[in-house]
Structure formats: structure tokens, C-alpha cells
A and B are shown apart, each in its own frame.
Chain A
């Protein structure tokens, strides 16, 4: 009997702490590597006692976490797929998206590459493997090394949709775990090309190429004139409540959006 009481007390105390202060956030590497940790730091400063558990392993994991109830907020740099929405509905989960920031997917090449601009068609040809040599797209020659995100990444599927007409990536493309890895590899490889969120374009050894004359900037993303712009999301099960709602509201507040800007994303207003 004593053991039962102790167990109940333990469970209740854990539940109490979880509901009160602990916020589990999973998903997008694009959001979770820089932006959300910085938002969390600022939030903790305003709400002492709140603890965060942030896992940034790709948008797919964030949406899955909402469906299986292992996170209060799912970070995603892409929209939930209809199959995911269907799975969620079958479990009684209502996938609610909240746009928290805009992003532009920048196409980056090695800083020493003479190519400064590409057309949308050329980008499609490069990433699908139709164009395999830099000379085919105005470069000085040499086999193109394509770096992409891995398949659990929202940026991986967003780029496929935005830039590749949903076609498959080139068979020889190298899949990287995060934006920083792509920027690092392209920075080291003179024949490299990849894509990263706007927040990662300042990495050393890389440069951003313009697409049909447009470069990713706050203005071109906000007015949607840059072709590879996208919204980024927090997904919740219906309207968020408790500390999750407080954190979502904080992200959308002027303080939160200032951090969005500082980290390299584009504020929603």
C-alpha cells in the first residue's frame, strides 16, 4: 500500500512539473538549430522555471511527434503532407499550423565558383542530375557536386516542390543532416552546390547565387518575389494551451520576431 502511494505521488509530481514548466519541442533542423533555442533562452529569461526539451531532427519528426503526442510543439519548415494529416485525423489529432517566420531557401556555391546567377530551369537541371558539369550552366567546367538535406528534412521536400517540380534528386547527390553541414561541405568543395535556409548563408567559403535575378532578402521573401520562399511553422494539436500557447504567442510577439530577424529568418510582419 505504501508503495502505491509513493508511486502516485511520483506520477502526480511529474505530471505537475510537466504541465507547469516543461515544453517539449521537436522537428525542423532549420528552425531548431538556431532560432528556437534563442527564442527559448529569451523566453526562459521572462519565465523563470520553464525548461525546454528541443530536438531538431527534421520536420518529419516534428509532425510525427504531434501525431504520437510526444511533443507539444512540432517545428516544421514545410506543410504537413496529406498522408500525415490523415494519420493525425485518424487519431483524433487536429494539426494546426502557425506561421512563425518566413524563410528563403538560398542556393549556395563555393565562394570561388565564377557562377553568380542561375535560372530556375538550371537549378532544376542541376539538382535532378540533368546538368552534371558546370560548363552546362555557365561555369568554368568540372563535375557538379550536389549537396542536399536528408529525406526527413522539410527543406528537402520543400526544395523538391519549389525548385524541382517534385522530381527526384540526382542519384549521386550527397545527403547532409543539416544546413550547417551543407554550407560546410560547399565551402570546402569548389565544385559544390547546395541549398540552405537564409540563416545559414553567412557561413565561410560560400556565396549565394541569384535565381532568375532575385536573391533571398527580407524584402524579396516578405513580398514573395523570391521564388524559393516558404513559411515555417509550429504545429500543435488544435489551439495550443498552457506554456505552449505562451511560447507561441511569444514567438509571434515583437520581441520574438526581432529574434527571428536577428537569427537570419524573415519576420512575418
Chain B
């Protein structure tokens, strides 16, 4: 009878402790009962064996993890999307006022494992659909045929040619030094960013060093003050005191430094004569994107916070893909000629960027105002190299927006809208968001988004964006999904059903 009671007790601690708790974890309780001489070792072992047997029959009990892993998380998401995207050529461009429209039904899948290892190491791996660094979407039915040269292969309906799985993240890190995180590999972006400067799907490759420290300041209060005199039922005086709450300010200071390998050249030293192109030597140094970010988040009483994260980006080396001079299109050319100009060069980019956000709560409803400002200090050179020497003033980019609500639990909702303006020589067009506004710079417009949580894990989102060329005497630089440059009257509508796990 006693053994049965102990078994129930241990099993209960087991169940309420979560499935991750192994039978052996009930050992502390059993050991205590043995020490108290409530049960003997033989009885404890019989209970332990029974619990082990039951645990081994559960799904969790069948998983085996290597000893150095102290924590492992399986996570991911799946998304179904309908998207409409369109744009129009400018009136003076050949062909004039012509529309291109794309309607796509798409899905994406991301499955990740992240774990903590012994001795302060950690790692992460994430598999993703699509090879595109700025998108994990796969379009249904877009792979029914494959063309290679002049040969077209019919793959059939429901083909799997586009449905590949790729390594989206693979990184290793160390947190053994106080307040410092070191990460290397293909990693989640370690920088504080907005969609204006970085597409959220990009997982940069290289190394990153992060430091974060929290300071808490107490102002006033904390003392004991005398309250009004009060009386007990027996009419005796009661000395009532109360402690006044101090006014607290929490400051999270952080610094993020990153050295990303942007474009690797191999071989750096080829056999034979150095490569040339157009009579010029082809550069043979890797291109690196370097980022220095320092920032602070101030959290005031009553859920009010403010955060800003000034950042400086610069590029070193040339690479062998992005070493041409950026042009970004030209409205004086036909559309096809404009598109074929260099849309991806990373020359003359020394960008200062400052994402910022202020938030508070109205009742239980979170509200935030966010924005971003960026300037390229070398825009004059970039404009000159593009063939527009008088357009060095096209160096700024900014975003301002507001949001209300959140999407954390069932029945949560969220509304968000922002205005964005990016000038032709302000930002790296290879990194900006691919949806709003089609991976382009020299475009401005508005985005509105609404979301509703159908359950804790299922979220329905609607997004709409509308944009147009900011400076109509320039192209809209960057390679997007709409084959028009300069891009005018750009529209995007997305309806998403997201499942997170």
C-alpha cells in the first residue's frame, strides 16, 4: 500500500514536472524518502524501475540526446500565402504605362533545432524552403516544366522541383563571458534592424559579437512613511506605515558587432594570368559587410519604453559578384535596357542607420511608434559612378510607423502601418525587404497590416502596400519580382495563414 502511494506521489511529480522529466528525476524524491526511512532502497528501486518503464513508453522517452546537450528546442513555422503584386512602367519608358501583375499561391516551411551545450556553448540549425536569401516561399505549380537552354522538360503537375529544403541557419556560439554572446556561422541577424534596411528572411554569414548589460536605477521612494493614524477594533492606536515605491528606470545597454562574409572570391590567386574583364583586372578580394551597432533600451514605469540602435555599416573588399558599379536603372532607357543595368553593386556604401521604437500600453493594449533613418555618407561617389553625378543628394532613407495590439495568444489582434521613403543611393538594394517594396530603393509608399490570432499558434495576416518612384529621373534600383524599372504604382497584397510550432 505504501509503495503504491509512493508510486502515485512520484508519478504525480513526474507528470506535473513535464514530460521532459525522466523517471530518474523522481530520484530526488525517492532518495529523500529512503533517507527518512519511509521506504527502503529496494522499494525505491522498484518504483524507479516502474517509472522508467512508463517514461520509456512515452514519445519523449524514445528520444535520445547526446550528453553534452543540456537543452534542445524544436521549433518552426509553416505558412500559406496568397499574394498579388503588380507595377507599371512610367509614361516615358518603352513600353509606356504597361502593367505587370503576378498572382501567386505560396507556402513556406521552416524547421529549426536550437540547443544549449555544456560549458556555455550553444548551437542552432534551421532548414527552410527556397534558396532565395530574402524569401522562403515556394510557389505552387511553378515547377511544372524546367527549361535548360533550348530544352524544356515537362515535370508534370504537382512537381517537386521547387520544393527543396535548404540550410537556412547553422551556427555555433559561446556565452561563457559575462554579458557577451559570440556567434559564428549562418545565423539569425544579430543586429537590431527594420524592413527598410534588412529583409527579415536574411540569415547573414560570418561572426558576431554581442554585449548587453542591464542597469536599474531607483529614484526616490523606498523610504518608510507614516500613514494616517488608524484604530483597531479595541480602539487602540495602530501604527500603520507604508513603503513608497521607488521610481525605477531600467536601461539595457547593448553593442552588436558583426563581420559578415558578403561575397567570397575563389580562387584568390588563380593559376595563370590574373583574370581581366574589359581590359581591367578582376578584383580577387572577398567582400565583407562590417556592422557596428550600439544602442539602449530605456524602460520606464507603466510599461513605457524607448529604444534606439545607431549603426554604421561599411563594406570592404570587392567580391566577384557585387564588384560592379551600381546603376539601378535609368528612365531614359527602355524598360529592358534599364533592367539590365547593374542593380546590385555595393560600391560607395558607408551607411549610418538608426532604428528606433517607443512603446507603451493603453490598458492592456500595447502601442508602439517605430521608425528608421539612414544616410549613406558616400552617396556622391555612388551617384557619380552610376552616371548621375548630380544626384548625390539621393542619400537618405526613412521609415515612420505605428502599431497597436499584439499577436501572442488566441484572439489577440494587431494593426500596423508605416510610411517608407528610400532614395536611390541611400541603402544596399541587396538587403532591403523583398515584399515592401519589391527589393527596391528610390521608392516611397505606405504599408498597412492587420493580424488576428485564431489560436495561440495560428495567425491570420493581411498586408497591403502601395509605392511609387521617389525621384522619377532615376531608376528604382534593385532586383525584384516585378520586371519593371523604374517601377511605378507598385502594389502588393498578401493574405497569410501562419502556423507556429
Interface size class of B (residues with CB under 8 A): 20 to 34
CB of A228 closer than 8 Å to a CB of B: no
CB of A46 closer than 8 Å to a CB of B: no
Bound Cα distance A98, B31 (Å): 17
Within 8 A of B (CB), among A72-119: 79-80, 82-83, 85-86, 89, 94-99, 102
Interface string of B30-65 (1 = CB under 8 A from A): 010011000001100110110011011100011010
Within the complex, which residue of A89, A102, A268 is in contact with B53, where a contact is CB–CB below 8 Å?
A: A89
Known: A82-B22, A85-B56. A99 touches B68 (CB 8 A): no
Nearest to B66 among chain A residues (CB) is A168
Bound Cα distance A222, B61 (Å): 32
- Smallest Cβ distance from A170 to chain B, in angstroms? 14
Contacts of B53 in A (CB 8 A): 85-86, 89, 94-95
Whether B55 lies near A231 (C-beta < 8 A) is no
- Smallest Cβ distance from A160 to chain B, in angstroms? 8
Bound Cα distance A102, B41 (Å): 10
Contacts of B48 in A (CB 8 A): 79, 97
Within the complex, which residue of A82, A168, A231 is in contact with B56, where a contact is CB–CB below 8 Å?
A: A82
- Smallest Cβ distance from A161 to chain B, in angstroms? 9
Within 8 A of A (CB), among B11-39: 22-24, 31, 34-35
Whether B49 lies near A85 (C-beta < 8 A) is yes
Whether A89 lies near B57 (C-beta < 8 A) is yes
Whether B64 lies near A83 (C-beta < 8 A) is yes
Within the complex, which residue of A82, A89, A166, A224 is in contact with B35, where a contact is CB–CB below 8 Å?
A: A224
- Smallest Cβ distance from A41 to chain B, in angstroms? 25
Bound Cα distance A95, B42 (Å): 14
Closest 9 CB pairs of A and B: A86-B56, A82-B56, A85-B56, A97-B45, A85-B52, A99-B42, A166-B67, A85-B53, A99-B41
Known: A167-B118, A168-B67. A83 touches B56 (CB 8 A): yes
CB of A233 closer than 8 Å to a CB of B: yes
Nearest to A88 among chain B residues (CB) is B53
Of B22, B23, B41, B48, most A-chain CB atoms within 10 Å: B41
Contacts of A168 in B (CB 8 A): 67-68
Q: List 8 A-B contacts (CB under 8 A).
A: A82-B22, A82-B24, A85-B56, A89-B53, A89-B56, A98-B45, A99-B45, A224-B34
Contacts of A98 in B (CB 8 A): 42, 45
Contacts of B23 in A (CB 8 A): 82
Whether B41 lies near A231 (C-beta < 8 A) is yes
Nearest to B55 among chain A residues (CB) is A82
Nearest to A223 among chain B residues (CB) is B35
Bound Cα distance A136, B55 (Å): 41
Whether A82 lies near B61 (C-beta < 8 A) is yes
Nearest to B43 among chain A residues (CB) is A99
Bound Cα distance A85, B24 (Å): 13
Whether A231 lies near B45 (C-beta < 8 A) is yes
- Smallest Cβ distance from A84 to chain B, in angstroms? 8
Nearest to B118 among chain A residues (CB) is A167
Nearest to B46 among chain A residues (CB) is A97
- Smallest Cβ distance from A131 to chain B, in angstroms? 15
Contacts of B68 in A (CB 8 A): 167-168
- Smallest Cβ distance from A165 to chain B, in angstroms? 8
Bound Cα distance A160, B67 (Å): 10
Within the complex, which residue of A95, A160, A268 is in contact with B49, where a contact is CB–CB below 8 Å?
A: A95
Contacts of B31 in A (CB 8 A): 224
Interface string of A160-174 (1 = CB under 8 A from B): 100000111000000
Contacts of B57 in A (CB 8 A): 86, 89
Whether B49 lies near A80 (C-beta < 8 A) is yes
Bound Cα distance A99, B67 (Å): 27
Contacts of B35 in A (CB 8 A): 224
Within the complex, which residue of B24, B42, B46, B61 is in contact with A86, where a contact is CB–CB below 8 Å?
A: B61
Whether A97 lies near B49 (C-beta < 8 A) is yes
Contacts of B24 in A (CB 8 A): 79, 82
Bound Cα distance A160, B118 (Å): 14
Contacts of B52 in A (CB 8 A): 79-80, 82, 85
Bound Cα distance A231, B46 (Å): 13
- Smallest Cβ distance from B66 to chain A, in angstroms? 9
Contacts of A89 in B (CB 8 A): 53, 56-57
- Smallest Cβ distance from A85 to chain B, in angstroms? 5
Whether B41 lies near A233 (C-beta < 8 A) is no
Contacts of B49 in A (CB 8 A): 79-80, 85, 95-97
Contacts of A233 in B (CB 8 A): 45
Interface string of A204-241 (1 = CB under 8 A from B): 00000000000000000000100000010100000000
Contacts of A268 in B (CB 8 A): 41-42
Contacts of A79 in B (CB 8 A): 24, 45, 48-49, 52
Contacts of B61 in A (CB 8 A): 82, 86
- Smallest Cβ distance from B342 to chain A, in angstroms? 52
Of B42, B56, B62, most A-chain CB atoms within 10 Å: B56
- Smallest Cβ distance from B176 to chain A, in angstroms? 13
Contacts of A166 in B (CB 8 A): 67
Known contacts A82-B52, A89-B53, A231-B45; 4 further A-B pairs (Cβ under 8 A) = A79-B48, A82-B23, A96-B46, A98-B45
- Smallest Cβ distance from A163 to chain B, in angstroms? 14
- Smallest Cβ distance from B435 to chain A, in angstroms? 46
Nearest to A82 among chain B residues (CB) is B56
- Smallest Cβ distance from A237 to chain B, in angstroms? 12
Contacts of A99 in B (CB 8 A): 41-42, 45
